[in-house]
Chain A
Amino acid sequence: MPKDEAAELLQGTLDLLILKALQHEPMHGFGISLRIRQMSDEVLQVEQGSLYPALYRLEERGWIKAEWGVSENNRRARFYELTAAGRKQLDTETAEWRRVSAAINLVLKGV
């Protein structure tokens, strides 16, 4: 399935987006995907197939932590929150992304 491969390529980027989305407040899975869509002006639509594995991965690495809470429609949902390490990771990855994308832009601008 080609969509899978595309998702794999952007794995690191997805992590960054999730961390960013959680910067200000804890959210559940649906909320995170919504947030990313909003923040990117509807361009980036995260698939659930990639979202949850990414969430579990980040949780394993200790950058986000999860707790059960109550969602908007009064259902139990798992809320994710950035940890201190996660915040630091967000800063690191943001800086890295800026560096790399600037370099790519440079290359593309050249002849």
Chain B
Amino acid sequence: MKPLRLIVHRLRALFRKENLDAEMSEEMQAHLDLLTVDYQKRGLSAAEARSAARRAFGGVEQIKERARDQRGWMWLDHLARDVRHGWRMIAKAPLISAVIVVSLGIGVGVNVTIFSWISSLVFRPLPGIANVTRFHLIEPKTEAGNYPGASWLEYRDLRERLHSFDWLLAYKMLPLNLGELGQEERVYSQLVSGNYFSVLGLRPTLGRFFREDEAVQPGGAPVIVISHSFWQSHLAGAPDVIGRRLRLNDQQLTVIGVAPEGFLGTTTGLTFDLWAPATMAPVLLNGSRELETREARGYSLLGTLRAGVTTAQARGELVGAMREFAANYPSSNVGFSAELLPFWRAPRGAARLLLGALAALQSFLLLVLLVVCVNAANLLLARATVRRRELGVRLALGARPWQLLRLVLIESALLGAMASALGTLLAVWGTTALRVVSLPGGFPFKFQTDLDVVGLAFAAALGVGSAIVFGLAPALHAARTDSQLVLRTSVTAAARRGARSPLVAVEVALALFVLVVAAMFLRSFLETRTADTGFKPEGVLLAAYDLSNSGYDKATGIAMMDELLRRLRATPGIEAAAVASWVPLDFHSMPLGAFKLDGRARSDGGQDRAITYNVTPGYLDLMRIPLVAGRDFDALADKAHGPQAIVNEEFAKKFFEGRSPLGHRIEGFNASFEIVGVARNALYETFGEAPKPIMYFSLRDRFALIEQIHIRTNGAESALAPNLRRIVREINPVFALFDVRTLTEHVDKNLFFRKIPARIFAGLGPLILLLAAIGIYAMVAYSVAQRTMEIGVRLALGASTRRVVLQIVRESMRIVWFGLLPAWLVSVVAVLIRAKTDVLNAVILVGTPAILVCVAWLAAWLPARRAAKVDPMVALRAE
């Protein structure tokens, strides 16, 4: 048998169906006639012979059907027929179908949006670079579990020493000031090794990339590569941009190339505008010694494995190398190891921050989708009772149960497909909307979500999966239809409701669970917004500055700062002014510093660490952080007292066990600081964090030139900005001021990532409630429709409308309680375990089921009331 011939034959059978059908009829008719003649020959009359022949032949249509099955790919034909039928059934119940498709579509849509966000973080962490999985991140790691990055010298050593890697490149983020005096703009660059672009496998849109020799001599090659979007936004996409000079941090650097479109740098979630060779560091950061000291860390390393080398081998070699460094360079490397990490676990960048939150959100949304599916199953089952007569007739005509099952499943599949399509559209809109959102306040963060093949596959899978979940119940119900029972009239209510009640109970249970989770989450979000931060953000304006190259040394710098603060405080409207090295509740974590107390080393050889925070005297007062003991720092100009420190309550508790730390000394950072005060605890890194120990140092003792100005006013903070700029110019015309924002905005930024899920929950909560209501309404409406005659009889026998209605409602509510109570118990237990027990949680735990019960009661009452209003005579004649 030749397969080709078989295929041709079957295709022909499919397309010439009618023709072949006619032929088959004729052939069988001929056979019948011959049989008739045969019987006549045996002595039967013409009429008898005909009927005998018919009987002997068998059911013509059945035989034709089986012959047709044999003929070709008839299953395809049957499928087409079933699909058409399914479509007709969907169109006949437009409201139910619309509710199912829309609710499923929303469920699929939100799930796919979050999923594509997750998948782009994991699978395409670096846009513009092909095949990211071949790269491995090498991150040095301290004993305490921090990832401070590598130093330039360490990178160079590793490049020589590690043979498991083909190529090793290094990069580090560096914010720069771009532009002429008085019009500086903050741009974000990456300092990179010479082989950066070539190892990544990129081609320049214009010009060229760095040569190896351009990253050897410190300050040797003042060249930069700009990003495609920077080229468009700042240089108008001019074709002659190569060779142009840009003023960065007061240095002139030449543009030698434009990176390809879509390439944003090698840190997940951040967009960079330009790249400079790492050897330009001492030029761009005046006096930086990062190319020479091993203590200056911050570089991330990327490598490609040599062919045939496994990650385990590479890891082993890496750890061995780090151990060597620890022995050879104890001051910078003691206790350091290193790890090989995939991109989505990169310690610097937003990936880590997001993935945990996103995963939790995704689980919740899948639960929501489940609720929607159960609701759809409920609706379809309700409608199935209406169709039972049609199914009964089909059965009587010779359909087999699995054929009925297939019929109903195809209908569910169609609904699922439509929901998938709608969900995909919603996801496209969602991901596009997310991409447009940019974070407030100068951090180069961009949402990189994209609906790609993986996302589409997920949408399809969700659609199919949902269809199976909600289609199974009505399909099984259809398959079990007893044709005899169905073709006769009314059957008892209990038997019919059998399949539907557990579904409603399940739906109510899931709905309660979802609502409680949503309420708890919303509560925690609202709480964090109004949580006590430990300081008072309202009324404070912030401005950052960077005077790294402006020729200040420690003495002149402190004098400048003193003058600046004096002038600010003298300005009407400004209540207080201070300078600090960071602002709390920022995206990056606070730096930790190692120290010894009173010169005593720890018994286990480890080091004490606490957050370090450099401020001017008056900072604590400005932030309204009270001092619980001791006093503030001495003035900046004060020369009488030695280096000082202020610690917080947690520090005193942790390192002094309740004794007063005043007068003790902190040794570290090349000096010895006397503790002069204890401040109240505040929030430093995130909302909801446990109290952390912190050491405030005076900027008089630990001076730096990149700081944040804080000014407090009684009125509107933004009104202060022009004054600030004026005063700053008066002090020094070269003063680069940027990132002017209010402290309230800054704190809100930290909440940004919680706002998105909170909004989703706030929107989904009512939707779930509505769906549960629809499910219950449908159940009651259809059940009541079946019992029209029974209701009619009751009304005719004298029962009051009210009694009938109440009885129906009570029966329906029984099912609701059945689902509500177990779910409620589970929620109570869960809340007791995971969250705190207080009045508000109790209110949520009581209020949510109460709302659900009210909604359910209403949803049951409306159709019951409508049914009871029917004239009993009409009801009795209905069947």
- A residues with a Cβ closer than 8 A to B are 28-31, 34, 47-49, 52-53, 56-57, 60-62, 71-73, 75-78
Contact = CB atoms under 8 A, between A and B. Distances in A.
A75 B70 contact: no
Contacts, number: 69
A48 B27 contact: no
8 shortest A-B CB distances, which residue pairs?
Answer: A53-B70, A77-B30, A30-B34, A52-B67, A61-B1, A30-B31, A78-B27, A29-B31
7 contacts: A29-B31, A30-B30, A52-B66, A53-B69, A62-B1, A76-B26, A78-B27
Contact of A30 (B2, B35, B66): B35
Contact of A75 (B30, B35, B71): B30
B9 A60 contact: yes
Interface in B51-92: 57-58, 62-63, 66-67, 69-71
Interface string B212-234: 00000000000000000000000
A62 B2 contact: yes
Contacts of B67: 52-53, 56
Contacts of A49: 58, 62-63, 66
Interface in B99-136: none
Given A62-B2, A71-B33, 4 more contacts: A52-B67, A60-B10, A73-B33, A75-B29
B37 A77 contact: no
Contacts of B33: 71, 73, 75
Contact of B58 (A28, A34, A48, A78): A48
Contacts of B28: 29, 48, 52
Contact of A62 (B5, B23, B24, B71): B5
B27 A77 contact: yes
Interface in B522-568: none
B66 A53 contact: yes
A104 B37 CA distance: 41
B6 interface: yes
A72 B58 CA distance: 22
A72 B57 CA distance: 19
A57 B13 CA distance: 12
Interface residues of B, number: 28
Contacts of B63: 48-49, 52
Contacts of A76: 26, 30
A28 B57 CA distance: 15
B550 to A, nearest CB: 91
Nearest to B34: A30
B2 A71 contact: no
A9 to B, nearest CB: 16
Interface residues of chain A: helix, strand, loop or mixed (majority): helix
Contacts of B58: 47-49
A22 to B, nearest CB: 16
Contacts of A56: 67, 70-71
Contacts of B29: 75
B1 A73 contact: no
Contacts of A30: 30-31, 34-35
Nearest to A78: B27
Contacts of B37: 72-73
B1 A72 contact: no
Contact of B57 (A31, A48, A53, A75): A48
A61 B1 CA distance: 5
A110 B743 CA distance: 100
Contacts of A31: 34
Contacts of B30: 28-30, 71, 75-78
Contacts of B6: 60-61
Given A49-B58, A60-B6, A71 B34 contact: yes
Contacts of B1: 61-62
Contacts of B23: 78
Given A48-B57, A53-B66, A73-B37, A28 B31 contact: yes
Nearest to B27: A78
Contacts of A60: 6, 9-10, 71
Contacts of A78: 23, 27, 30
Nearest to B29: A75
Contacts of A53: 66-67, 69-70
A68 to B, nearest CB: 8
Nearest to B30: A77
Contacts of B26: 76
Interface in B393-437: none
Interface string B4-26: 01100110000000000001101
A77 B37 CA distance: 15
B677 to A, nearest CB: 95
Contacts of A47: 58
A62 B3 CA distance: 11
B68 to A, nearest CB: 9
A75 B24 CA distance: 14
Interface-centre pick from A31, A53, A57 (highest chain B CB count, 10 A) = A53
Nearest to A73: B37
Contacts of A52: 24, 27-28, 63, 66-67, 70
Contacts of B34: 28, 30-31, 71-73, 75, 77
Interface-centre pick from A56, A76, A78 (highest chain B CB count, 10 A) = A56
